[in-house]
Structure 1
Amino acid sequence: MIEWNYHKTGALLTTGLLAGATACHEQPKTPDRPNIVYIMTDDHTAQMMSCYDTRYMETPHLDRIARDGVRFTNSFVANSLSGPSRACMITGKHSCANRFFDNTTCVFDGSQQTFPKLLQRAGYQTALVGKWHLESLPTGFDFWEILPGQGDYYNPDFVTQRNDTVRREGYVTNIITDDAIRWMDQERDPSKPFCLLIHHKAIHRNWMADTCNLALYEDRTFALPENFFDDYEGRPAAAAQEMSIVRDMDMIYDLKMLRPDRETRLKSLYEQFIGRMNPEQRAAWDAFYGPVIEEFYRKNPQGRELAEWKFTRYMRDYMKTVKSLDDNVGRVLDYLEEKGMLDNTLVVYTSDQGFYMGEHGWFDKRFMYEESMHTPLIMRLPKGYAAHGDIPQLVQNIDYAPTFLEMAGVEVPDDMHGESLAPLLRGEQPAEWRDALYYHFYEYPAEHMVKRHYGIRTDRWKLIHFYNDIDVWELYDLAADPAEMHNLYGKPGTEEVTADLKARLQALQEQYGDPVRFGPEHDKDMPR
C-alpha cells in the first residue's frame, strides 16, 4: 500500500515502495493492445498541480490520475519550447534528429517516422484534437482537428481534415474536450484499439479564463518566490533574458488592464483576442475586469508594490485557466469510466514543458533551469501494470513514443532516442537505466531573448553551455542549490566533476548525433 505524505514545501511524496518492484515476485501479464489517451497541455508547470505541490491550488482531477496510477518525479523535456517539444514527443528523437529546432524558422517534416504512424500500421485508430503547432498538417492520424498556430481561448478557429477553417463557439478547453469525447463515443471503430491525443491550448500565455471562472481566487495572495528579485550574479545569460514579470509582462496583453488612453506594445493583439468574444462573453469579461482596471489605475502602484501586484494578477489568471483544464480532464476520466474503458486505457497527462511562476522573477520557459526543463508526468495504467506511486528515474519526453509503441505490442525502431518506460510501469527497477539527460535550446535571437544553450543533467549535477553570441558555462549542484542561484563553474574543487560532465556531455552529443562542438567556433554547425 502506498502512503502519501507532504514535505515542508508542500510537494507530494510517497513513502511506500513501488508495487511489484521486487524481481522475486512474478509480474502479472500485461494487457493486449490497451487504448491510449494522451492529454498534453501547454506551459502547465508542476508547481501548479496539487499532486506535485500544494502551495497554490487544488487540481482534484489531475490528482486522481496520480492517486490511482503513477507520478514521475524526475520528468524532463529535451527542448523547452512548444513546437520543438511536440516534435520530440511524437518522433521519440531530439531536435537535432527530427529537425524541428524552434518555433520561428521550422516546419515539421510530416513524412518522417512518428509513433501515430507506427500505431496506425499496427491496427490502431489514431486521432488528434487541439493544438498541433508544428506548421505542417498532421500525418498518421485517422482523424484530426487542430488549432491554427497558438489558437484562441474564445470562439477559436479549427483547421479540419478537409483543410478548411471553421470557427467554433465557446471556450477552447471545453471545445477540445467535447470533440475528443465525441470522437471516442461516435466516430471511432469500437472493434479497434485507439490512440487519442488531446492537446490543449491551455495554459498558454495570456491566460484567459472561461467566463464561469473569472471571479475565482480573487481572495488569494501569494508569497513572492525567494529569488523573485534575483540579481543574476555570475549568470550573464540569465540576466540577458526578456521574460521578467516586473520588466516584460505587458500590462494590457498579459494582465488585461485595458484603457483607451493607455498604449503598450501588445495592446492591439489583446484587442484582437477580446474582439472574438460574443456579446454575452464580452459582457461577463467587462463586468469582472472593469472594476479591477478602475481600482488599478486609481491606486497606481509603483516599485515593489507594482511588482507584487503583477505577480498576484498573473498567479490568479494562470490558476483560473488551470481550473478549466482540470475540470475537463475530469470529464474525460468520467467518460472512460462510464463506458467501461478506463481499466484498459493508458491515460497520460503531461505538459510540453514547465513554466516559471515568479522563480528568478520570470514567467515563460526556454531555459534549462529546473522550472522549465522539468515537466509534470502522471499516468493511470491499464490492468496488468503493477507500478503505483512515485517513479524516481530520470525520464524525458523522447521516451513517450517508445513507451506507447511497446505497450501496444509494436516494435520500437532502433533510431528512436528515447527509452520505453514500460518496464518502470510494470514495476521493474532496471539496473542500467540512464543516469543523465541531454538538453538543447536553439531559438535565439527571438521572443524573450534566451541565449542558445545545451547541457547535461544528472541526479545531482547540471552543466550548461550558453553559446552563439556568448561563450559561458554554468555548473550547479542541485543537491545543495536546487534554485540554481550559484554558478560553480571554474570554482576551486569543481575541476574533476566538470571534466567528467563535459566528457559525458560530449558522449551524449555523439550518441544523439548533435553536431555541437565545444568552443566559440561551433556556431557554424548549428541550424539557422
Structure 2
Amino acid sequence: MKLYTNVKLICLCMICLTLNCFTISAQVKTKRKPNILVIITDQWRGQALGFIGKEKVKTPNLDALASKGLAVTQMVTNYPVCSPARAMLLTGTYPAKNKVHGNANSNTAPYGVELPSDIVCWSDILKQQGYSNGYIGKWHLDSPHQPYIQTKNNEGGTAWNEWTPFDRRHGFDYWYAYNTYDYHSRPMYWDTKALRDEFHFVDQWGPVHEADKAIDFFDNKGNVRNPNAPFSLVVSINPPHSPYNTAPEKYQKAYENMPLDSLLSDADIPPAGTPMGEEYRKNIKDYYANITGVDEQIGRIIDALKEKKMLDNTIVLITADHGNCLGKHDEVSKNNIYEASLSIPLIVYWKGHISPDIDKKFLGSLVDVCPTLLDLAGLKKEIPATVDGKSYADYFLNRKGAMPTEQFFMGALNNNDTKLSSGFRGIRTDNYKLAYQRKGKQLNAFLYDIKADPFEQNNLYNKDNPQVKILKTRLISLLKKYNDSFTIE
C-alpha cells in the first residue's frame, strides 16, 4: 500500500512538472518579439485600391488583407518623392534632420542629398534588439559618384543608381537591393556580400523576383538570417512606377476589355487632346495592370508567411512612397500638392492585436511609421527622442487615444536648397488643405475643401477666409517646429 502511494505521488509530481513545462513554454512563446514585414511600393496612389471603390482597379489580395486588418484611407506621404519619402519612413524625421531634401542622384549629390550613415533608423534599433533584418528591392538613399555604375539608369545627363556600402545599410544584415533602377523586366541587384562592380541582372519581372526572394528569406534559404531571432524584412517594389508598359501580359489582359471611357470619370483628368489628358489615357490601363501584378505578389508573400505558420506573430505594414497623378491636374506624376500625389495606401495587419477596420478618419503620415512600428514591437522606450513623427500604436491596437488633427507636407525643393526655402509646403486636415507654392519670387496659394471638392477643382484661397487664417497659423507653427525655413508671409 505504501509503495502504491509513493508511485501515485511520483506520477502526480510528474504530471505537475509536465504541466509547468507546458505553461513556461507557452509563456516564452507569447513573449517572443513579433516579426515585422514592411512592403513599400513606388508611385501607388491611395485611391487606386479596389476595396476603396473609387477606381476600377483590381486588388483582390489587398482587399482581403484590408478586411482583416486596419486600412487607413486618409494616409499621406509627407514629401511625395522617392528618396525623401523613404528617408522619412525609416527615420521618422523631416529633411531638416535627415538631409534628404530631394531625390538622390548626381544633380543633388554635390549638396549631400543622401541618408546620413549616423542617423538612427528603426532598422538600426531592431538590430540592437536582436532582430535579423533583411532588405529586398529599391533603396534610393545613396548618391551616385564617379565613375558611375554602368547601368541604364546612369546613362544620359543624370546618374541615379549606386551601390550601398556595407556600413550604410542601417542594420539590414541581408541585402538584395539596388539604389534605383527602372527597367522592371530585367532588374538588377547587389547581393549581401557583392562589391560595387559585382551586381547582376535577372530575366524576370521585378515584383515576381522580389516576392521569390522574400519567400526564400522566410525559408532561410542560404542561411541569410538567424532562425532563432525575430526578423524584420522590407520588400521595396518599384512598380507601379513608370514605365508602365512592362507588366506581364496576364495582368494587362485583366483590363483589355474594360472600356477606356469607364476609367475617365474623375473631374481632375484633363480632356482628350491635351498633353496630360493623352498621358492619362495612354497609361491608365497599364498603370492598373502593374498594380494588379504587384497585388498578386503581395498575396504570394502573405500566403507564404501563413503556410510557414509565421503570419500570426508578424506585424505586416503595406504602404507606398508617394502617389501618382498620371496627368491629373496637368501633373505627369508626383511632387505636387494634389491628392493623387499625396495620398498613399496604408494597411496594417497583426492577427489578434489589430482589429479589422477601414478607417476613413485617421490622418496618417509616413513620418509616423518609424515610431509606431517600434512601439507596436514593444520598443517604445527605444524610440529616439529626435524623431519628428509620433507613435499611434495605441490607436492602431485599441482605437483609443488622440488621433492626429493635421498632416504636414512639403516638396519640390531645388536641388541645391539645403536651407529648405523653396518648393511647396502645406497642411491637410479632415476637411481642408492649405498649400503655398514658391515659383521664383512668386508665392502661389491654394485652399481646397477636400470633402466637398475631392478632385480639387475650386481654389477657395482668400487671405480673409476664416479657414485660411486658422490653417496658416497652424502651418507657420509646424514650419517652426520642424526647423523649416520656408516662409509664407
CA distance in 1 between counterparts of 2:432 and 2:127 reads 40
Distance, in Å, in 1 between the alignment partners of 2:178 and 2:474 is: 40
Pick aligned residue for 1:139 from 170, 195, 205: 170
Which residue in 2 is equivalent to 1:400?
369
In structure 2, the partner of 1:205 is 242
Identity of aligned residues (%): 28
- Rounded to whole Å, the distance in 2 between the matches of 1:503 and 1:172 is 45
Find the partner of 1:341 among 310, 313, 316: 310
Q: Secondary structure at the match of 2:474?
A: helix
- Of 268, 272, 275, the residue aligned with 1:247 is 275
Q: Does 1:193 align with 2:230?
A: yes
Q: What does residue 49 of structure 2 align with?
A: 49
- Tell me the equivalent position of 2:199: 165
Paired AA for residue 454 in structure 2: P
Cα deviation for residue 221 of structure 1 reads: 1.9
- Which residue does 2:435 correspond to in 1? 464
Write the deviation string for residues 410-449 of structure 1: whole angstroms up to 9, x where unpaired.
Answer: 221121111112111212321x332111111134489xxx
- 8 Å CA contact 1:346–1:381 kept in 2: the answer is yes
| The one of 164, 171, 176 aligned to 2:210 | 176
CA apart distance, 1:381:
1.4
Q: 1:120-162: CA deviations, max 9, x gaps?
A: 1011111100011112523321111112423421221112332
1:94 is matched with 94
Contact 2:317–2:347, Cα closer than 8 Å, also in 1: yes
Question: CA separation of 1:359/1:425 partners in 2, compared to 1, >3 Å: closer, same or farther?
Answer: same
TM-score normalised by the chain length of structure 2: 0.79
Do the aligned residues in 2 keep the contact of 1:245 with 1:361 (CA within 8 Å)? no
Equivalences for residues 434-453 of structure 1 within 5 A: 434-444=404-414, 452-453=423-424
User: Structure 2 CA distance, aligned partners of 1:113 and 1:216?
Assistant: 43
Q: Is the 8 A contact 1:79 1:440 kept in 2?
A: yes
Match of 1:475 in 2: 447
Cross-structure match for 1:513 = 483
Instruction: For structure 2, list consecutive stretches of 5 or more residues without a partner in the other structure.
Output: 1-29, 144-163, 417-421
1:118 deviates by: 0.6
Q: How does 1:271-420 map onto structure 2 within 5 Å?
A: 307=277, 311-386=280-355, 388-390=357-359, 392-410=361-379, 411-420=382-391
Letter in 1 for 2:184: Y
Indicate the SS of the match to 1:140: coil
Length, aligned pairs only: 412
The residue number in structure 2 matching 1:218 is 256
CA distance in 2, matches of 1:229, 1:124: 46
Larger radius of gyration: 2
Q: 1-side partners of 2:268 and 2:486: how far apart?
A: 33
What secondary structure, in the 3-state scheme, does the structure 2 residue paired with 1:440 have? strand
CA distance in structure 2 between the partners assigned to 1:441 and 1:321 by the alignment = 26
CA, structure 1 residues 141+401, in 2 after alignment: closer, same or farther (shift >3 Å)? same
Q: Is the 8 A contact 2:72 2:359 kept in 1?
A: yes
TM-score (ref. length: structure 1): 0.73
Q: Which moved more, 1:401-410 or 1:136-145?
A: 136-145
Distance 1:227 1:156 in 2: 36
SS of aligned partner of 1:126: strand
State whether residues 131 and 151 of structure 1, in contact with CA within 8 Å, keep that contact through their aligned partners in structure 2. Answer: no
| Structure 1 residue ranges, 4+ long, deviating more than 6 angstroms after superposition | none
Q: CA shift at 1:114, angstroms?
A: 0.6
Range with greater deviation from structure 2 (82-91 or 465-474): 465-474
Contact 1:396 1:437 in 2 (8 A): yes
